[in-house]
């Protein structure tokens, strides 16, 4: 059984991935500040030891850590944002991750982040001493989500599970009506030009923290209306169990789901380490 430290833990997708990889946990320490994310974590994993703000890490006094995992804030690096990179206070938290890595010296570490300019990717690689592997979540889910993963073991690409968008939709029409976004013929015509038609799309676009951040983000077209994806559908795109994030408002569920790992990608990466066989 291993001790795990998860930084920027979010809704603790790392714990689901560890379960799926059959890696037994002794203690799971989580650093997170979003109260809704913490609520979801504690609902699903009440034994999680919450540590609070990562900037207070020097006061934690933790036991030996075997595995350190993190999805450090990506806003400064994302091509979808202002690309402030290390000038963004959130992206500077990467260096706090490095300090914690050097202090606890875990046998294994895993860091996830978005695709970014090569010059900034190289800074991260130099600090960690390893090069990243790029994996698209579309290999294990119905979502296109390209991410970089730095870890200190060899990782292969996952096999394509050939999971398509049409397979993740909810069936209950009463639920789906709640997410309808247009009410008049003129709006139907306008939105249909911006929606992705479910009969033509094999994969969804990347799950983000706010579905209407861009005009077509999270929208799917049906015969006579468009709607947003439901939180349950977004859970399925992130390979989470149905209703894992139930218990908070939908917009907060969307935020948590946009920030989290694709669980089955993390599980695949952990399987490559064969952690359960060597700990």
Task: Examine the pLDDT at 151 and tell me if it is beyond 80.
Answer: yes
pLDDT of amino acid 180: 76
pLDDT tier for residue 225 given thresholds of 50, 70 and 90: low
Q: 108 pLDDT exceeds 60?
A: yes
**Secondary structure class of 121 (helix, strand, coil):** helix
Average pLDDT, the chain: 86
Catalytic residue among 74, 206, 226, 260: 74
Please list the residues that pair with 4 across neighbouring strands.
Answer: 28, 67
**pLDDT value of residue 179:** 82
Element spanning 147, H or E: strand 146-151
Q: For residue 79, what pLDDT is reported?
A: 45
Query: 169 pLDDT exceeds 70?
Result: yes
User: Which of the two residues, 256 and 229, has the higher pLDDT score?
Assistant: 256
Residue 218 burial (10 A CB sphere; 0-12, 13-18, 19+): buried
pLDDT digits (tens, 9 = 90+) for 186-199: 555 555 555 655 54
| Virtual torsion, Cα 77, 258, 41, 1, nearest 10 deg | -60
The total of other beta-carbon atoms located within 10 Å of residue 1's CB is 11
User: Which pairs from 177-183 meet CB under 8 Å and 24+ separation?
Assistant: 178/230, 179/227, 179/228, 179/229, 179/230, 180/225, 180/226, 180/227, 181/219, 181/225, 181/226, 181/227, 181/228, 182/225, 182/226
pLDDT score recorded for residue 106: 97
Average the pLDDT over 241-249 and give the result. 97
- Determine whether domain 2-158+262-278 maps to CATH 3.40.50.150: yes
Q: What is the pLDDT of residue 200?
A: 60
Choose among 135, 144, 136, 157: nearest CA to 201: 144
Please tell me the least confidently modeled range out of 128-132, 165-169, 208-212, 239-243: 208-212
At residue 229, the pLDDT reads 87
Percent of the chain with pLDDT over 90: 63
Q: In the chain, which residues fall in CATH 3.40.50.150? A: 2-158+262-278
Residue 279: per-residue pLDDT? 42
Q: What pLDDT is stored for residue 15 in this prediction?
A: 97
* Strands of the 226-228 sheet, one edge to the other: 196-197, 219-221, 226-228
Query: Which CATH number describes the domain made up of 165-254?
Result: 3.90.120.10
Using the predicted structure, report yes or no on whether residue 45 has a pLDDT greater than 50: yes
Q: Is 74 a catalytic residue?
A: yes
Phi, psi of 204 (to 5 degrees): -80, 165
Hunting for tokens 């991935």 — which residue is that? 17
pLDDT at site 111: 97
Higher pLDDT, 191 or 45: 45
The mean per-residue pLDDT over the stretch 146-160 comes to: 97
Higher pLDDT, 120 or 45: 45
Mean pLDDT value of segment 220-248: 88
Structure tokens at 250: 């939908």
Largest CA distance in the chain: 62
Helix (H) or strand (E) run with residue 7 in it = strand 2-7
Residues 176-224 pLDDT 10s: 888 876 554 555 555 555 565 554 678 888 888 887 644 455 667 666 6
Mean pLDDT score, 31-37? 97
Question: Looking at the chain, which residues constitute the CATH 3.90.120.10 domain(s)?
Answer: 165-254
Element (H, E) at 149: strand 146-151
Average pLDDT over every residue of 125-153: 96
List, in sequence order, every residue forming a beta bridge with 110; answer none if it has no partner. 69, 151
SS3 244: coil
Closest-CA residue to 147 (of 18, 157, 107, 123): 157
């Amino acid at each position: 059984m291993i001790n795990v430290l998860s930084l920027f833990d979010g809704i603790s997708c790392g714990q689901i991935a560890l379960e799926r990889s059959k890696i037994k946990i002794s203690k799971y320490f989580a650093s997170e500040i979003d109260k809704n994310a913490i609520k979801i974590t504690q609902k699903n994993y009440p034994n999680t030891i919450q540590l609070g703000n990562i900037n207070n890490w020097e006061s934690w006094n933790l036991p030996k850590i075997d595995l350190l995992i993190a999805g450090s804030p990506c806003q400064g690096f994302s091509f979808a944002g202002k690309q402030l990179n290390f000038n963004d206070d959130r992206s500077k938290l990467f260096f706090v991750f490095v300090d914690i890595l050097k202090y606890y010296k875990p046998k294994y570490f895993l860091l996830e982040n978005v695709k970014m300019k090569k010059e900034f990717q190289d800074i991260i690689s130099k600090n960690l001493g390893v090069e990243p592997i790029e994996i698209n979540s579309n290999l294990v889910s119905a979502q296109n989500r390209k991410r970089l993963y730095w870890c200190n073991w060899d990782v292969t690409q996952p096999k394509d599970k050939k999971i398509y968008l049409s397979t993740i939709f909810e069936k209950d029409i009463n639920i789906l009506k709640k997410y309808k976004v247009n009410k008049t013929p003129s709006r139907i015509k306008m939105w249909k030009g911006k929606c992705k038609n479910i009969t033509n799309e094999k994969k969804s676009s990347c799950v983000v923290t706010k579905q209407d951040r861009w005009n077509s983000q999270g929208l799917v077209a049906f015969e006579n209306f468009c709607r947003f994806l439901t939180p349950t559908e977004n859970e399925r795109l992130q390979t989470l169990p149905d209703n894992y994030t139930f218990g908070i408002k939908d917009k907060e569920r969307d935020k948590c789901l946009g920030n989290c790992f694709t669980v089955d990608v993390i599980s695949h990466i952990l399987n490559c380490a064969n952690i359960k066989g060597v700990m």
